Amino acid sequence: METMTKEKQKVENKKSVKMTGAKAIVECLIAEGVDLLYGYPGGTIMPVYDEFYKYQDKLHHVLTRHEQGAIHAAQGYARVSGKVGVAIATSGPGATNLITGITDAQIDSTPIVCITGQVGSHLLGSDAFQETDIVSISTPVTKWNYQITKVSEIPEVLAKAFYIARSGRPGPVLIDVTKDAQFDELDFEYIKCEKIRSYTPIPQMDIAQVKAAAELINKAKKPFIIFGQGVVLANAEEELKSLIEKADIPAASTLLGLSALPTDHDFNMGMVGMHGHYAPNVLTNDCDVLIAIGMRFDDRVTGNLETYAKQAKVIHFDIDPSEIDKNVKTDVAVLGTVKETLLELLPLIHSNTNKEWHHKFIDLHKIEYEKIIHPQTNPTSDKLTMAEVINLINKETKGDAIIASDVGQNQMFASRYANFNRSRSVVTSGGLGTMGFCLPASIGAKMGAPEREVVAIIGDGGFQMTIQELGTILQTKVPVKIVVLNNEFLGMVRQWQEMFFDKRYASTVMTNPDFIKIVEGYGIEAKKVDKREDLKDAVAKMIASKDSYFLEVIVEKEGNVFPMIPTGATVSDIRLK
């Protein structure tokens, strides 16, 4: 009798409910644990928005001021929360306005589900009003996409979308839904997707490769670790730290991996790459075993591949088989989530000491500190520097803030000088380098981690690319701290023009508006600083504020970011001036 009752309950639980496709989409989102999403309404997605209106107690929709703002906000939310970000838009220009953010999410492995409306299925291919083939457009920059033309497809397709976005190496998924599919009815039943035939998100770990990696590490005299965002995505921060400490290995980060290891950890040697730290770049070409963990050997990290780490045995830990040997030839490849592979590796690793090798890093860091870091953070000129602004933010936040940054000099100064005590503290556009990313992404980051301070570091150029998202802050009252480092230039392009184009500043001089008036027009407290004696108190007031706050700092016009690896140069040719 008891067995029959249980079977009867199973059948009753599986009973479907009749509803429209629009309502089904909302029910799918709720079933996937979504309680916050970003978007902008329009004609072909209006049925779904009508359902949002009825579900306000369960689902919070944030109206951004542009679809690009919606996708970047979803990215910021996903980066700090570890959840899937959701963005929604109408067809045509609404959908195409998502493409930059989708591309950004694809390159930076950010889990996003985008839902776009589409004209009725009978109008497809007719060049109807606001019809665009967004599936074809987005195919190269999504992990998966699909167009729903029949209402019955909605539950299964959305379940797959969330599974694909979050599983394995995360990424963006786009689902396009015709308007008739939103209006039509179905017998709704939602079953979460846990497996897709022919899709293997996590490759099988090869224990022999783990053992081979351990053998190389144990024999190494000058081992060096470069870790990336894969450590954060796999929640492998403790495993990374254990490996570093047990084997006494100096380590450095990629841009997106920065907060995986606390900045002040004794073995954290800084950041590699074009504007990374001096010691880890130079000594990449001196180590005997290079251990890459959850990073992809991007060209901004490697410089000239013909001269990159040729003396070293290379071990590559990664979840994505396509990254192995793509840029750098690997001697040992360990596939799988880096948390699982590092857990398998750790018992095989011998305790070790590499004092002389560590001292090489320390000696080179002293050179960088004396020539670059100290002069930037303690300038003798009356002109304010970006580095000293970041340094003061460090002191006020004690390294516990989430630092969002835009792209350009502001990004490099933020990544070089900000302190990160906690993981998931870096929100920036890595592989695509999207100007305008920071302001909307910082909004999403604050909503994804409301208990944490979020400071947005932006240049005057990037700020104006998505300045309209101040309206989102006005409407939501999200307390983001915004710092615009204003040098009245497109700073990074200007630096290249100075160094490689004989100071021909073609189209990089910025004539800016009165930012304070604009920001105050959005109801945000604002202050402008151009003198050193006013800077400390201004930063302290900003961080202490319980509301959103805008601080504009007038910095030196022709300040440069150093060290720098010129394009085409080797990492060991990094320039200090």
**Helices 237-247 and 338-345, packing angle to 10 deg:** 30
For residues 522 and 467, the answer to whether their CB atoms sit within 8 Å is no
Q: Which of 27, 32, 51, 67 is the catalytic position?
A: 67
Between the two ends of the chain, the Cα-to-Cα distance in Å is 82
Q: Element (H or E) spanning 454, and its range? A: strand 454-459
> Is 528 annotated as catalytic?
no
DSSP E strands, 264-369: 268-271, 289-293, 313-318, 332-335
**Distance from C-alpha of 110 to C-alpha of 96, rounded to nearest angstrom:** 19
Q: Which among 46, 83, 130, 536 is annotated as catalytic? A: 130
- Our measurement of the distance from residue 60's CA atom to the centroid of its chain's CA atoms, rounded to an integer in Å, reads 23
Q: Of the listed 271, 492, 542, 564, which one is catalytic? A: 492
Does residue 310 have an active-site annotation?
no
Distance CA 524, CA 517 (A): 10
271 noted as active-site residue: no
The single residue of 179, 313, 339, 481 carrying the catalytic annotation is: 179
Residue type, 366: K
> Which residue, among 409, 351, 418, has the nearest Cα to 390 in the 3D structure?
418
The region that residue 336 occupies, defined by phi over 0 for left and psi between -120 and 50 for alpha, beta otherwise, is: left
Catalytic residue list contains 499: no
Rounded CA separation 353/473 (Å)? 51
CB distance 88 to 48 below 8 Å: yes
Name residues whose C-beta falls within 8 Å of residue 332's C-beta, 6 or more positions apart in sequence.
209, 212, 213, 216, 313, 314, 315, 316
Which residue type sits at 519? V
- DSSP letter assigned to residue 194: -
Query: Measuring CA to CA, how many Å separate 508 from each of 382, 435, 504, 512, 566?
Result: 24, 14, 9, 12, 20
67 as an active site residue: the answer is: yes
Cα→Cα distances 285→188, 255, 370, Å: 59, 19, 23
The strand pairing partners of 316, in sequence order, are 292, 333
Q: Which of 8, 58, 129, 310 is catalytic?
A: 129
Write out 234-257 in H/E/C secondary structure: CCCHHHHHHHHHHHCCCEEECCCC
- Active-site positions read 67, 129-130, 179, 492
